[in-house]
Structure 1
Amino acid sequence: MTQPTTLAQMQTSAVAAPKPETPMSLLTGSGFDQLQRVAKALCASTLVPAQYRAFTEVKSYGKVTGHNPNPAGLPNCVVALNMAMRMGADPLMVMQNLYVIEGRPSWSSQFIIAAINSCGRFSPLRFELSEPGKDEVVKYKAVVWKNDKKTEEPREVTIQHRTCRAWVIEKETGDRLDGPTVSMQMAIDEGWLTKNGSKWQTMPEIMLRYRAASLFGRLYAPELLMGLQTQEEVHDFIDATPDGAGNYAVDLNDLRNKEPEPPAILDQDEALGDEPETAPLEADTKPAETATDQAEPATADADLPDDLAFE
């Protein structure tokens, strides 16, 4: 190797060559360090959803009074970054549309529709909605809280029977692809309609389209969903449980009459004041425990009416 002889050559050789940039990865030490650096920057931001932040806000009477550490914020950011890299998508877009509901990650239905429309394989997603059919009065029992006690109230809701099916044109073949048909009768039979806080009673046309889109994506483009359900499906479905005899079963009564969260206990001054606002973009629901430690109940669809997290 030729040794540098001139001053310029010696100065050039003394400058350290720039190190190649390490790609983010979960499988290498240097890549994981880089992934954590990006995750730390994101979890310190207030523009990401609350489940990704390094802190949680403590509110009283609708005002922020302090912050508590959120140990799951950084790991959640790491998982979201990994999913964004696998999908080739923007990390912030993934974080804004990925919800953690009872420990399960799930996509918003709008994200599924956008992913199908932008993947390049299909024409824009279209919905075939039938004309309203006959009216039907559905009677059920709702579980509510009264005087700090859980009670059942008889209720009824009038629905119009309709069906919806999502369809596209596959660009490669020119064929029309039809998704599974979703109906209001299906919502009744599966218990979606009579769940507490169900949006199927107030926004049936939107819920029909959302469910038809999620089923179409699960059937024809599962790689876009990466095996995850939509947040509507997470709230609508429950897992089958073993019955001790080697079989699995689903309790439909448990699905229809899932126990709601108990109301927050308010003192006299707070009862006369303004109600505290709900924390935006929270995925887990937790009741406030006392009036002095009044952390806001976090809801999956707070301030997000279009996401329809609760059916």
Structure 2
Amino acid sequence: MCNQTNTPQPQGAPPQEAVDREIQMANLNLQLAQARASAEYNLSVAGQIQRQFEAMQRCAKPYAESTVVPTSYRGNIGNCIIALDLAHRMSLPALTVMQNLYVVNGNPSWSSKFLVACINTCGRFTNIRYRKRNLGPLGKVKYNSHEWVTRDGGKKEKTIVVREFDATGIDNWECVAYAVEKSTGETLEGDAVTVEMAIKEGWYTKDGSKWVTMPMLMLTYRAAAFWQRAYAPEMSMGFRTVEEERDAVEVSYEELPPSSPASEPLVPEEAKEKLRTRAAKASAKSNPALDLP
């Protein structure tokens, strides 16, 4: 017979079963704490945003791989996510947003016909209409031109220069957009847009401007944009139309150093000596006790 020997336990030590039970309870408490922290995070704003973003990434991938969407969305999941977000906010199909949201000068912008369609189908107003009339022929019109000019010292700035445009033979058409608010029966009129305004604002005189070849259509689009911005600004989500973005000219300036005759580059020793001299002069200004030339 084999002698079975039990390992003696130290006096006062808890039995092995009690130790195992404590370990199991500690693991269970840890799992409960982790589950509670995960649930609290999922209910927080950050957790909801993360889950929504992950879901939008999965939804955007098929759009980015499709050949039906416009080229600015193909292979670009970021653009598709933005389009999906706008579509969700506006309660529209994602493809509709993608087909009518363009990037002009780096800024997203809507097509004017899309905004008109949103106004006509929102149910708050009657279909938008336009009133056009000829205000007579134009003559010479002064307008603002954005050009580079050279200031004193050789500094160049992009500034506004007043020019004169010979509009002889061009009729000054005016267009006003209007619609009736169904809840009140009030006729809502937008601001008038004229060809003279287009010339003064510099839209007409820009290179490749559509105001020269199709002024009546541009008047319609711009009048609709004015009306929408005045009475239903939430429809555009803060974006301008394609026509407005193309006509917009941001006034900025760039300072260029004055031209100087070409000189030989400094060798490292000469450059270091100049830096030391400059630092010594700066120190002398801060400490009048020093007497440097």
Q: Give me the whole-angstrom Cα distance separating, in 2, the residues matched to 1:161 and 1:241.
A: 31
Q: Give me the whole-angstrom Cα distance separating, in 1, the residues matched to 2:251 and 2:206.
A: 18
Are residue 89 (structure 1) and residue 92 (structure 2) matched? yes
1:184 is aligned, of 187, 195, 205, to 195
Q: Give me the whole-angstrom Cα distance separating, in 2, the residues matched to 1:26 and 1:38.
A: 18
Partner of 2:249: 238
Secondary structure of the residue aligned to 2:178 is strand
Partner of 2:110: 107
Q: Give me the whole-angstrom Cα distance separating, in 1, the residues matched to 2:122 and 2:242.
A: 21
Q: Give the TM-score normalised by structure 2.
A: 0.60
Are residue 217 (structure 1) and residue 236 (structure 2) matched? no
The C-alpha deviation readout for 1:24-65, integer Å capped at 9, x for no partner, is x995333222211111100111111111011xxxxxxxxxxx
Q: Give me the whole-angstrom Cα distance separating, in 1, the residues matched to 2:220 and 2:197.
A: 13
Secondary structure of the residue aligned to 2:84 is helix
Alpha carbons 2:141, 2:196 under 8 Å: kept: no
**Between the two proteins, what is the percent identity of the paired residues?**
46
Unaligned runs of 5+ in 2: 1-45, 148-164, 256-293
2:71 is aligned, of 40, 50, 58, to 50
**Cα drift, residue 137 of structure 1:** 6.8
After superposition, the Cα gap between the structure-2 partners of 1:81 and 1:106, relative to the gap in structure 1 and judged at 3 Å, is same
After superposition, the Cα gap between the structure-2 partners of 1:201 and 1:27, relative to the gap in structure 1 and judged at 3 Å, is farther
Q: Give me the whole-angstrom Cα distance separating, in 1, the residues matched to 2:77 and 2:133.
A: 46
Unaligned runs of 5+ in 1: 1-24, 55-72, 144-154, 245-311
> Residues 1-20 of structure 1 correspond to what in structure 2 (within 5 A)?
none
**Cα drift, residue 242 of structure 1:** 7.8
> Residues 252-263 of structure 1 correspond to what in structure 2 (within 5 A)?
none
Q: Give me the whole-angstrom Cα distance separating, in 1, the residues matched to 2:207 and 2:94.
A: 33
Aligned length: 191
After superposition, the Cα gap between the structure-2 partners of 1:28 and 1:180, relative to the gap in structure 1 and judged at 3 Å, is same
Partner of 2:214: 203
Partner of 1:172: 183
Partner of 2:125: 122
Q: Give the TM-score normalised by structure 1.
A: 0.57
CA RMSD for the aligned pairs?
A: 2.8
Output the amino acid matched with 2:53: F
The C-alpha deviation readout for 1:174-204, integer Å capped at 9, x for no partner, is 0100000000010010000010100100101
Alpha carbons 1:130, 1:164 under 8 Å: kept: yes
More deviation, 235-244/184-193: 235-244
After superposition, the Cα gap between the structure-2 partners of 1:26 and 1:49, relative to the gap in structure 1 and judged at 3 Å, is farther
Q: Give me the whole-angstrom Cα distance separating, in 1, the residues matched to 2:51 and 2:190.
A: 44
Output the amino acid matched with 1:101: V
Alpha carbons 1:138, 1:159 under 8 Å: kept: no
